[in-house]
Chains A and B, each alone.
Chain A
Amino acid sequence: GIQVEQSPPDLILQEGANSTLRCNFSDSVNNLQWFHQNPWGQLINLFYIPSGTKQNGRLSATTVATERYSLLYISSSQTTDSGVYFCAVGSNTNAGKSTFGDGTTLTVKP
């Protein structure tokens, strides 16, 4: 099956700093999502981005499907950005299944 690797596993920043999280995947995918998991466990949708670039406020994401990676950018980080960020990928041949990376744990210090 598809392998998903996220890096770095842990990231500690001062408030106001910028960061880049990376997601590499081992095979062609039809969908890719970025999530933020809150302290209560809920996965919050950040981006649905099988290809191209999207922006939402201080967050943006880029997926280069031909090179099998995606990047999540967080600018001017805030303490509320802390948590675990997951990348999840799927293909049309594997109905309803998303394969998740191990996540990046982001800690933003005031």
Chain B
Amino acid sequence: KAGVTQTPRYLIKTRGQQVTLSCSPISGHRSVSWYQQTPGQGLQFLFEYFSETQRNKGNFPGRFSGRQFSNSRSEMNVSTLELGDSALYLCASSSTTGNEQFFGPGTRLTVL
């Protein structure tokens, strides 16, 4: 079975721009969660989608948003980028019945 894939792997943007990141879960997995990893804050939960519905949200500003499509692929969007948004963004998928999460390789975003 193919693992979780994320695109793009690397991204450089400037302040004020917006960015969209994509995550394809493991086939058959319907839950997708997003995390932000920074040296200062560690790994922090952004939000989780299940069957196209956001079920849970972390403590991030409204500039961070996401969605999930009918094939379980998910996208997250960050608008009006700030320098502090530079981070590794990780997505994880899990099955309907299980809680074990499997992570993708991440997208490394640099905001200049």
Contacts and interface: CB of A to CB of B under 8 A. Distances in A.
Contacts of B88: 41
Contacts of A31: 99-100
A43 B90 CA distance: 9
Contacts of A50: 99
Contacts of B90: 41, 43
Nearest to A48: B100
A98 B33 contact: yes
B58 interface: yes
B42 A100 contact: yes
Interface of B: 31-33, 35, 37, 42-43, 45, 48-50, 55-56, 58, 88, 90, 92, 94, 99-106, 108
Given A31-B100, A48-B100, A98 B45 contact: yes
A41 B42 contact: no
B99 A41 contact: no
Interface stretch (A16-24, A61-69, A89-97): A89-97
Contacts, number: 62
Given A33-B100, A90-B99, A97 B106 contact: no
Question: Secondary structure at chain B's binding surface: helix, strand, loop or mixed?
Answer: strand
Contacts of B103: 35, 42-43, 45
A93 B27 CA distance: 25
A95 B102 contact: no
A40 B33 contact: no
Nearest to A96: B48
Nearest to A93: B56
Given A48-B100, A86-B43, A42 B94 contact: no
B65 to A, nearest CB: 16
A96 B33 contact: yes
Given A41-B88, A41-B105, A42-B106, A95 B58 contact: no
Contacts of A100: 35, 42-43
Contacts of B104: 42
